[in-house]
């Protein structure tokens, strides 16, 4: 089995660029909220030294117009479709999942539990997942924030609450200033993505892959096939592309090719053969270290 | 959406600007007012530029080196290559009877190609200095005004079909004066093809993506 490539939610509009969506194995929608949202005022993004900040604010039509207007057009593209949903309470997640449960074109629901640009729900991630789980039989992927000290515990909690998989990671909150020392984004803070996020994503996937036994979509700063292979090596079974799509719409085909070449160079028959390699290795060295001190 | 790695054919100084000419390598020139995303060497994100000139086999872009990305593009040398995507967005509607091209500063960028396509109609250009106004040489048949005179003050009583590009205050004034004007707006863009939602402008009480619905927008009240 090959390593499947997805887009990170909010990093591609399949209706505006169907050829880019078709070059992926799965298209993940921009996060859909129950009610329409205008999004945040511009300036909405800023390039920084090693990445970029965005503050879009979940601009979108809301769930009902999404289902009635967007979903049929997305379904016509005949892609595997994952719906990313967001909300501001457990009730929001439950009602959105219930609404999508009967939509055959939606293969998986990804729960965005971690948008850095909107206010958070008062409930814990596990409570949101439990509400979603009670409302649908569709596979649920929980998308977690890297901004937590012990992401493995969150991973365990959301899996126990019914998540079938994890999407790791969302952007991490950041801020950039202009020459006059004023924030460059209208809302000051935004989600930090791009190459700088990769080591953070690797650490999160690594921690979660050791803690839970569910499929993980790894994402964060993937620019090359080697970046993707590294995420697989720490435990991801699929890889999502985000910021790279902004500067290289042809990235999926290129990364797929590079991924195979990098695996072959390491004597692997296919890239998925690298899965978990670095997790096993670090556990082994941990044992050696423990034995050594015993 | 087409992408290619293009080779720099030339880079000339035009007043404070750089006119960067690239070999086309199969990319179409598109409609005047459409734009391309140009890789900015050493930077993460590409930068949007409307097409300035479309001589045979080449795409020419007028670059104002105001930040790290535009400086990197403005200092490209012949033989270097950059990754280019385009043409993107919606250009000018060319079905006009009495075109008048109106431009301000670096906003004259799409007008040379627009002028060539429309058979050199009259143009009215404004610049902040004589040095900046050297770029007016790229637009045939142009009347030039310099700061403190504004192009909006030099506009004829019956301007005809205005096709404009320039700083926001200029476009806002034109929008009020000429209800049917076509205005090429500007916004920072991360992707240029509707993926990032970074380039929105306010329109009819909501935010629209300028890269998809623009960059040429009709004045409010007009039809596009």
Give the tens place of pLDDT for each residue, A171-212. 999 999 999 999 999 999 999 999 999 999 999 999 999 999
Candidates A33, A44, A197, A243: best to mutate against B (most CBs of B within 10 A) is: A44
| A224 CB within 8 Å of a chain B CB | no
Smallest Cα distance from B201 to chain A, Å: 8
Q: Which residue of B has its CA nearest to A44?
A: B198
Bridge partners of B81? B7
In this prediction, residues A232-243 reach a mean pLDDT of: 97
Q: Catalytic site residues of A?
A: 115
Smallest Cα distance from A207 to chain B, Å: 28
ipTM of the complex: 0.94
β-pairing, B47-50 vs B35-38, is antiparallel
Q: Which residue of B has its CA nearest to A45?
A: B198
Between A4 and A290, name the one with better pLDDT.
A4
Query: Per-residue pLDDT for A223 more than 50?
Result: yes
Query: Per-residue pLDDT for A106 more than 80?
Result: yes
Please answer whether residues A49 and A28 qualify as being in contact, where contact means their C-beta atoms are separated by less than 8 angstroms: no
Q: Which residue of B has its CA nearest to A178?
A: B67
Q: Please give the helix or strand (H or E) that residue A4 lies within, else none.
A: strand A4-7
**Residue among B56, B69, B75 at smallest CA distance from B17:** B75
What share of chain A in percent tops pLDDT 90? 86
d(CA B149, CA B171): 15
Question: What global pTM score does this model have?
Answer: 0.94
Give the tens place of pLDDT for each residue, A39-95. 999 999 999 999 999 999 999 999 999 999 999 999 999 999 999 999 999 999 999
Between B55 and A122, name the one with better pLDDT.
B55
pLDDT confidence of residue B222: 47
Give the burial string for A148-162 (b: 16+ CB within 10 Å, else e): eeebbebbebbbebb
What tokens were used for B186?
A: 């500007």
d(CA A286, CA A206): 14
Please answer whether residues A195 and A215 qualify as being in contact, where contact means their C-beta atoms are separated by less than 8 angstroms: no
Of the listed ranges A115-124, A138-147, A151-160, B178-187, the one predicted with least confidence: A115-124
In this prediction, residues A222-236 reach a mean pLDDT of: 97
d(CA A53, CA A56): 10
d(CA A161, CA A182): 42
Omega prior to A43 cis, within 30 of 0:
yes
Contacts of B207 in chain A (CB under 8 A): 38-39, 42, 59
Q: How far apart are the first and last CA of chain A?
A: 41
d(CA A114, CA A152): 15
Q: What is the pLDDT along chain B (224 residues), one digit of tens a residue?
A: 899 999 999 999 999 999 999 999 999 999 999 999 999 999 999 999 999 999 999 999 999 999 999 999 999 999 999 999 999 999 999 999 999 999 999 999 999 999 999 999 999 999 999 999 999 999 999 999 999 999 999 999 999 999 999 999 999 999 999 989 999 999 999 999 999 999 999 998 999 999 999 999 998 754 44
Smallest Cα distance from B101 to chain A, Å: 29
Other beta carbons less than 10 A from residue B12's beta carbon: 10
């Amino acid at each position: 089995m090959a390593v499947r490539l997805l887009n990170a939610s909010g990093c591609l509009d399949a209706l505006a660029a169907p050829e880019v969506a078709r070059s992926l194995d799965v298209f993940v929608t921009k996060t859909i909220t129950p009610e329409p949202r205008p999004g945040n005022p511009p300036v909405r993004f800023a390039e920084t030294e090693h990445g970029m900040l965005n503050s879009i604010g979940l601009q979108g039509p809301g769930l009902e117009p999404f289902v009635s207007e967007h979903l049929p057009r997305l379904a016509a593209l005949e892609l595997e479709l994952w719906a990313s949903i967001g909300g501001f309470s457990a009730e929001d997640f439950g009602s959105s999942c219930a609404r999508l449960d009967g939509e055959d074109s939606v293969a998986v629901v990804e729960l965005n539990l971690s948008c850095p640009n909107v206010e958070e729900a008062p409930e814990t991630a596990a409570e949101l997942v439990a509400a979603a789980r009670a409302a649908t039989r569709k596979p649920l992927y929980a998308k977690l924030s890297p901004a937590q000290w012990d992401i493995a515990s969150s991973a365990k909690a959301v899996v126990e609450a019914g998540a079938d998989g994890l999407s790791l990671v969302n952007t991490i909150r950041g801020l950039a200033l202009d020459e006059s020392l004023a924030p460059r984004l209208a809302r000051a803070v935004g989600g930090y993505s791009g190459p700088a996020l990769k080591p953070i994503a690797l650490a999160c996937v690594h921690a979660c892959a050791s803690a839970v036994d569910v499929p993980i979509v790894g994402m964060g700063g993937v620019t090359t096939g080697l970046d993707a292979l590294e995420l697989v090596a720490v435990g991801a079974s699929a890889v999502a592309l985000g910021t790279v799509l902004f500067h290289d719409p042809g990235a999926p085909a290129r990364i797929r090719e590079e991924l195979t070449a990098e695996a072959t160079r390491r004597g692997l028959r296919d890239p998925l053969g690298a899965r978990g390699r670095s997790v096993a290795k670090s556990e082994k060295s941990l044992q050696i270290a423990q034995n050594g001190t015993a | 959406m087409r992408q290619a790695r293009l080779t720099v054919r030339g880079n000339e100084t035009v007043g404070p600007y750089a006119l960067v000419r690239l070999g086309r390598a199969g990319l179409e020139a598109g409609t005047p007012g459409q734009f391309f995303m140009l890789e900015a060497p050493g930077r993460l994100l590409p930068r949007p530029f409307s097409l300035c000139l479309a001589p045979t086999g080449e795409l020419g872009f007028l670059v104002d080196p105001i930040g790290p990305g535009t400086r990197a593009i403005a200092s490209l040398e012949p033989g270097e290559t950059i990754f280019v995507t385009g043409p993107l967005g919606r250009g000018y509607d060319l079905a006009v009877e009495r075109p008048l091209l109106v431009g301000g500063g670096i906003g004259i960028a799409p007008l040379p190609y627009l002028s060539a396509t429309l058979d050199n109609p009259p143009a009215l250009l404004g610049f902040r200095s004589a040095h900046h106004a050297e770029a007016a040489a790229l637009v045939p048949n142009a009347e030039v005004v310099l700061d403190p005179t504004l192009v909006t003050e030099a506009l004829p009583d019956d301007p005809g079909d205005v096709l404009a590009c320039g700083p926001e205050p200029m476009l806002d004034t034109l929008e009020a004066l000429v209800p049917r004007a076509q205005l090429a707006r500007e916004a920072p863009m991360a992707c240029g093809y509707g993926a990032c939602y970074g380039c929105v402008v306010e329109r009819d009480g909501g935010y629209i993506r300028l890269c998809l619905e623009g960059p040429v927008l009709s004045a409010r009240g007009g039809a596009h």
